[in-house]
C-alpha cells in the first residue's frame, strides 16, 4: 500500500569552500523540493533561497516532507541559517534523543522531530537503517538508491562549491528525488518513523497514511525540474525551534 498523502523530497547543499557541515560557518547554496510531477531547485542568495523554500512548501497540498538524515542535519541546519538571517519559517523542530544519529550537527545535542507548516516529516534514513545492517551495506542515500535500482547523480561531495550551476541543480534535485522515491518503496514500514505520530497534541494520521495514492507514485521519466535563483530578502523574523 502506498501513501495517500503526497511525499515531498527535500534536500539542501551547503558551502564546502568552508566547513559545510557547520551552520555557524557554512551557508546553504542550493535546495530542492521533489514532487511526483517534478522538482523545484532553489539557488542564489541564502536568505532569499530560504524564503522561497518556505513559500514552495506552503503552496503544496499537506503531505510528508521526506529527507535523508534530515532529522540530524538538513532541518536543524535550515533552522540555524534562518535564525542567523532573522527569518521566520514554517519549520518547527522538537529535540528527540531517541532518534539514532551518528553525531549531532555542530551546536546541537541530537536529532529532531519536525513539521513544516501543514506538512509532517519523515527521515527516510531511519526507515532504511535495518536494511543496511542486515545486508552489511552503508546506509548512505546513494548506496541505498543503487541497491534499489535507482540512478543517483554523483559528484565530489567535498567540492560542492566548484560545481557549475547546472551540475549543482542536477545534484540537489537528484538527492531530493531519491529520498522521496526510496520512502515510497518502503512506505509499508514507514509509520513508526513519521514525525506526526511523535508530535504532542497531534491526532493520529494512521488511516490517512496507509492507502494508495496515484499522486504519490514514482513518476519516472515524466519528471521536470524547475530552477529558481533566489534574490535576497529582508524584514522577516526568526525560524521557530520547539525545545524537547
CATH number at residue 78: 3.30.420.10
Task: Quote the percentage of the chain above a pLDDT of 70.
Answer: 80
Q: Are 179 and 68 in contact (CB under 8 A)?
A: yes
- Rounded to whole angstroms, the Cα distance separating 157 from 175 reads 12
* Separation CA 186–CA 164 (nearest Å): 34
- pLDDT score at 244: 37
Q: Where does 5-140 show beta strands of DSSP type E?
A: 7-14, 28-35, 38-44, 64-67, 91-95, 112-116, 119-123
State the average pLDDT over residues 216-221: 34
237 within some domain = no
Q: Which three cell numbers stand for residue 91?
A: 519549520
Q: With respect to residue 61, please indicate whether it lies within any of the assigned structural domains.
A: yes
pLDDT over 90 at 219, yes or no: no
Q: Report the SS3 class of residue 122.
A: strand
CA dist 144 and 185 (Å) reads 11
Structure confidence by residue, pLDDT tens digits, 168-179: 999 999 999 999
Flag whether 46 is in a domain. Answer: yes
How many other C-beta atoms are found inside a 10 Å radius of the C-beta of residue 202? Answer: 12
Residue 234, domain member (yes or no)? no
- pLDDT mean over 94-112: 94
Dist CA 32 CA 231 (whole Å)? 16
d(CA 37, CA 32): 13
Answer whether residue 97 shows pLDDT above 90. yes
Q: Indicate whether 239 belongs to any domain.
A: no
Structural domain count, the chain: 1
Predicted pLDDT of residue 202: 54
Containing structural domain, residue 119: 7-200
Checking if the pLDDT of 223 tops 50, the result is: no
- pLDDT at residue 206, rounded to an integer: 34
8 Å CB contact between 89 and 50? yes
Predicted local confidence at residue 31, as pLDDT: 98
Is the residue at 232 inside a domain?
Answer: no
Q: What grid cell was written down for 236?
A: 522577516
Total H helices, total E strands in the chain:
5, 8
Q: Quote the cell numbers at residue 209.
A: 497514511
64, 119 contact by CB (below 8 A): yes
Establish if 125 belongs to a structural domain: yes
* 200 C-beta neighbours (distance < 10 Å), count: 7
Amino acid 227: pLDDT: 72
Dist CA 78 CA 20 (whole Å): 12
Residue 206 belongs to a domain = no
Amino acid at each position: 500500500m502506498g501513501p495517500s498523502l503526497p511525499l515531498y523530497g527535500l534536500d539542501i547543499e551547503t558551502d564546502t569552500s568552508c566547513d559545510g557541515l557547520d551552520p555557524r560557518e557554512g551557508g546553504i547554496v542550493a535546495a530542492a523540493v521533489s514532487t511526483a510531477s517534478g522538482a523545484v531547485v532553489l539557488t542564489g542568495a541564502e536568505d532569499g533561497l530560504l524564503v522561497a523554500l518556505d513559500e514552495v512548501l506552503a503552496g503544496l497540498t499537506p503531505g510528508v516532507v521526506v529527507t535523508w538524515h534530515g532529522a540530524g542535519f538538513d532541518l536543524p541546519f535550515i533552522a540555524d541559517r534562518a535564525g542567523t538571517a532573522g527569518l521566520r519559517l514554517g519549520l518547527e523542530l522538537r529535540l528527540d534523543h531517541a532518534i539514532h544519529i551518528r553525531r549531532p550537527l555542530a551546536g546541537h545535542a541530537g536529532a529532531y522531530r519536525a513539521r513544516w507548516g501543514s506538512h509532517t516529516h519523515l527521515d527516510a534514513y531511519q526507515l532504511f537503517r535495518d536494511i543496511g545492517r542486515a545486508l552489511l551495506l552503508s546506509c548512505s542515500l546513494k548506496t541505498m538508491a543503487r541497491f534499489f535500482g535507482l540512478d543517483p547523480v554523483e559528484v565530489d561531495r567535498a567540492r560542492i562549491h566548484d560545481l557549475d550551476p547546472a551540475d549543482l541543480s542536477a545534484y540537489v534535485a537528484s538527492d531530493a528525488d531519491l529520498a522521496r522515491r526510496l520512502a515510497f518503496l518502503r512506505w509499508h514500514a514507514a509509520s513508526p518513523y513519521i514525525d506526526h505520530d511523535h508530535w504532542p497534541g497531534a491526532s493520529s494520521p494512521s488511516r490517512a497514511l496507509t492507502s494508495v495514492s496515484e499522486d504519490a507514485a514514482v513518476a519516472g521519466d515524466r519528471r521536470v525540474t524547475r530552477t529558481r535563483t533566489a534574490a535576497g530578502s529582508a524584514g522577516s523574523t526568526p525560524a521557530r525551534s520547539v525545545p524537547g
